Amino acid sequence: MAKAPSGVENLDFEHLGDQELREVMQRIKEALNARFTSRIGEFRELAREAGFLVTLTKIGEEKSGRTGRRAQADGAGDDRRRGVSAKYRNPDNPVETWAGRGRKPKWVEDRIAQGASLDDLLINRADAQQNGVEAGSV
């Protein structure tokens, strides 16, 4: 890394006014932005030579032509992936629950192997609300 000019080390920021400090900060931001832009240009050129196309979007800016699931989820606010209430609870450990979707948890498989049925593990909603146990899936 390059050594800072001796003048920078001797700057007395305590005696600079607010406006002068803002101007120094602005000049620093501009210098860093110019360096970043230059380096990105070099990287894009190297990527192009290797057969790649590199695109960057500033944080907070969206491309207008975006399509697909992400664009729909971002814009519409209609997220299809919402939590599913649990249907089954482990009687030995009430924290362990299962919504009945996907692969059966080990505790469900163990209970079925012991001769229990899924109906035996069903959550009784009224009991769950009285006990204050949350019906989330694990």
DSSP secondary structure of 39-102: HHHHHHHHHHHTT-------TT---TT--SHHHHHHHH---S-------EE-SS-TT-EE-S-S
Of 13 and 6, more confident: 13
Whether residue 17 has pLDDT greater than 50: yes
* C-beta separation of 135 from 127 below 8 A: no
Per residue in 18-47, pLDDT tens? 998 899 899 999 999 999 888 988 988 898
Give the Cα separation of 66 and 130 in Å (integer): 47
- Write down the pTM of the prediction: 0.36
CA dihedral of 123, 125, 126, 128, whole degrees rounded to 10? 70
